[in-house]
Structure 1
Amino acid sequence: MVTSKTLDYGQPSLQGTIRIPGDKSVSHRSIMFGSIAEGTTTVEGFLQSDDCLSTIDCFSKLGVEITVDGEYVRIESNGIQAWNEPNEILYTGNSGTTTRLMLGILAGSPISSVLIGDESIQKRPMKRVTNPLKQMGAKLIGRENGQYTPIAVEGTSLQSIHYKMPVASAQVKSAILLAALNAEGETVVEEIETSRDHTEKMLQHFGASVSVEDRTIRLQGGQKLTGTHVVVPGDISSAAFFLAAGAIVPNTKLTLTNVGLNPTRTGIVDVLQAMGAKLCINDSENNSHEQMGTIEIETSEVTGTEIGGDLIPRLIDEIPIIALLATQAVGKTVIKNAEELKVKETNRIDAVVNELKKLGANITATDDGMIIEGPTSLHGGELKTYGDHRIGMMAAIAALITSSAVTIDNPECISVSYPNFFEQLDSVVLASL
């Protein structure tokens, strides 16, 4: 295991093309839906990251036949009623998506099981999922009355609910909708802000009828899913790190292909455009109900902006790299309404502020976000990842613009979402000027 990595790029420029690896959220769901569906599902562009492989491992333990060949996955399933009760605990690793969505799936299944994750998952709040599932009749037992894993799930018959979301969370919404597939009656979910809608799109792609009107989703229980072919777009949350680098590293021009452009995920594009970045989107197309395309970005003079409200759910995972981007922008950038960052892999508000301060950034934490004054010249330092992949990638991109080396601990945590991150980064770094 590599315990640290020192990055010393000097004063590089970035030039070239990067094919963005598969979307983590869509990759998770492709395995889940293929396992629930009856028949054969094939997945193209699957992300072979630690998190997504945890999802495959869990469903394999339920007796679903899953074959992985690089980015191509084949799933053979006779549907949820044919699953085997696992003879071992289902380990979800570092994946909050796997943990929370599987709670919804397993709640209405015919089997009993136990879910547990790594040290980080065992600290992340689960009541936001277990509470509405219990309202549907789910039988769940976990630490602190279902707040933390491990959680035991005894599959049972579920009833539909009308649920008003207290937080904007695609994971909570998705867990309820997946449980609703095996519930009696029509389940209605009302969102306070629109969160990523990959679950709704994939329900449609697998043949389910789901109604989406404004922020209200309706799903009738008892529907069967049918195996199909899924094309996974590139992950815009991964692309975000190279988009930010493209804007702030001198003498740079990057082309990012295979980028997912789902409108519920393109907040990073909106922010870059608001800050004045030179960005262009081309070759947009739709596959498996998901939009994708190519983004070109080059060195830009960016200015500060305000980020909050209904924009936050569309870029919640990109805020660490947006904070780094803001250190190079002229003026003040304010990020607010981002309390959800406190319950990610780590408290990302504190983590981002603490680590960027080590590099000389003028950044202050607030109760629901942060304030960054720029532009600031950054120097090197030793940074912590907190075991959080997005903090690790933020630190690596920071090394492109610091005056001396940046050392990051636990670089392997990045493999949770972007296994070939350093390989692709090195492929576009030109020699120091």
Structure 2
Amino acid sequence: MKKIAPSNIHGSLKIIPSKSVSHRALICAALAKGDSVLKNMAFSEDIAATANALRDMGLCEYELTGDVCTVHGGLRREGKQEIDCGESGSTLRFLVPLALDGKPRTFVGHGRLMKRPQGAYGRIFIRNRVEVEKTENSITICGTLDSGEYAMPGDISSQFVSGMLYALPLLINDSGIHLTTKIESKPYIDLTRSVQKLFGIRSHWRGHIIDVSGRQGYRPHDMTIEGDYSHAAFFAVAAALSGEVLLQGLEEDSDQGDREILGILQCMGADVEFREDGIFVRKNVLRPVEIDVSQIPDLVPVLAVLGCAVKGKMRIYNAGRLRYKESDRLHAMAHELEKLGADITEYEDSLVINGTGALDGGEADSHFDHRIAMALAVASCIAREPVVIRDPMVVRKSAPNFYEEFASLGGIVE
């Protein structure tokens, strides 16, 4: 357990490399014939899962020296039949289409991974006669991916769309991805496309259709991984609640959807400044707002804490997909914040918080979810008594040094 006492946040912090960009850069580098040098890499459990899976599929070899990862890509060797995805949904969903080479391959998952919705590919691959066999802890696929037109609902995880985007350019003919309903998490789709563009792959939006030309090839590319806005959000909110922080290593014009946290904080009244040396966030009087999170689902846990810090009613909506993450994040945040003294109500796809400006503190559970654990740590900033987090080290999934970072800014962590 971790005991985090109420504290004020002050200082500067270099934000860890973006997990979303890192996944995408590793995949593109693995598919490019030649060497790509990826600087400012950090191997959290999820990123290590993707790097190792790409290697085990026979697509690449890699070397990690400090924060520099050199990927020797385009190998196309005979890979392993079993691929371990850890607990990483990105690893699994990004790589399944690339594994359709006519040979059976089994993807193994841990934790809640295989309990999360994975049926989209089974429906998408019907036209290809791909065999899909799912067990409690694995998915086995066998078949080939063909060029053509693919219909997918826009409100499924964007990871399925990105998975198709990686594979379709390598096929002989042109293809299209038709998103048949309102598109959610579109920034993540566009992030995939922007990283692909760096490696020589292009696609184009045409309304709700993504046109993908065939016979393309990934080219090696050296790049520096930008800072992670999803991770920065925890410290930005902590500062808005209890002090000030200078966040370094973030790109002001980033394609990361979770950059939206800065606009949300500004709208609520926090001071946010873009400076030459970073992004400065400072506490001010906050006002409640309503937030549509359909495009920014990963922000919901820390936004729920933010709702407790205002005085008034705050609503977070279009969040139904949060029930299928590493935990049921809507239920987890409602349940744990209520234990800490919040007046919070959980609905099917939303949370309503009647904020009082403070929490009591107490013991709360991470639900084995890294973003729940980090949000509970931020909740300590407005608590009267310490917040004690059970199973706190799940943060290793994305941010192994989170508690050290929090302590470096004045957080009191035991």
Give, as a single letter, the amino acid of the residue that structure 2 aligns with 1:127.
G
Structure-2 separation of matches of 1:168 and 1:280? 35
Give 1:422's aligned residue. 403
1:281 paired to 2:274: yes
Out of 329, 334, 337, the position equivalent to 1:353 is 334
Report Cα offsets for 1:356-412 as digits up to 9, x if no partner: 000111110011110011124211211111110000001111122211121111111
Out of 360, 366, 377, the position equivalent to 1:396 is 377
Structure-1 separation of matches of 2:143 and 2:150? 21
Q: What is the Cα deviation at residue 168 of structure 1?
A: 5.2
Change (3 A) 1:110 1:207: farther
Give 2:89's aligned residue. 96
Out of 265, 277, 287, the position equivalent to 1:272 is 265
Structure-2 separation of matches of 1:343 and 1:369? 14
Tell me, what secondary structure is at the counterpart of 2:176? strand
Give 2:161's aligned residue. 173
Structure-1 separation of matches of 2:250 and 2:325? 23
1:25 paired to 2:25: no
Give, as a single letter, the amino acid of the residue that structure 2 aligns with 1:198.
L
Change (3 A) 1:265 1:7: closer
Report Cα offsets for 1:226-270 as digits up to 9, x if no partner: 111122111100000001101011xx1100011243263322222
1:209 paired to 2:192: no
Give 1:53's aligned residue. 48
For structure 1, list consecutive stretches of 5 or more residues without a partner in the other structure: 284-292
Conserved 8 A contact 1:42-1:75: yes
1:65 paired to 2:65: no
Structure-2 separation of matches of 1:326 and 1:353? 11
Give 1:142's aligned residue. 133
Q: What is the Cα deviation at residue 130 of structure 1?
A: 3.2
Give 2:8's aligned residue. 13
Give 1:41's aligned residue. 36
Tell me, what secondary structure is at the counterpart of 2:96? helix
Structure-2 separation of matches of 1:112 and 1:71? 34
Give 1:262's aligned residue. 255
Conserved 8 A contact 2:362-2:388: yes
Conserved 8 A contact 2:19-2:47: yes
Give 1:295's aligned residue. 279
Conserved 8 A contact 1:362-1:376: no
Conserved 8 A contact 1:85-1:112: no
Conserved 8 A contact 1:169-1:195: no
Out of 206, 222, 228, the position equivalent to 1:229 is 222
Give 2:147's aligned residue. 159
Conserved 8 A contact 1:414-1:421: yes
Give, as a single letter, the amino acid of the residue that structure 2 aligns with 1:234.
G
Q: What is the Cα deviation at residue 213 of structure 1?
A: 4.5
Change (3 A) 1:241 1:140: farther
Structure-1 separation of matches of 2:341 and 2:393? 25
Tell me, what secondary structure is at the counterpart of 2:288? coil
Q: Normalising by the residue count of structure 1, what TM-score does the alignment of the two structures yield?
A: 0.88
Give, as a single letter, the amino acid of the residue that structure 1 aligns with 2:240.
A
Structure-2 separation of matches of 1:431 and 1:385? 18
Out of 116, 124, 137, the position equivalent to 2:116 is 124
Conserved 8 A contact 2:84-2:108: yes
Change (3 A) 1:24 1:73: same
Report Cα offsets for 1:142-200 as digits up to 9, x if no partner: 227xxx65111225242322424341532021012123123343222244233422210
1:363 paired to 2:344: yes
Out of 314, 318, 322, the position equivalent to 2:299 is 318
Change (3 A) 1:389 1:85: same
Give 1:242's aligned residue. 235
Change (3 A) 1:406 1:125: same
Two-structure CA RMSD over aligned residues (Å): 2.1
Give 1:372's aligned residue. 353
For structure 2, list consecutive stretches of 5 or more residues without a partner in the other structure: none
Change (3 A) 1:214 1:330: farther
Structure-2 separation of matches of 1:128 and 1:184? 24
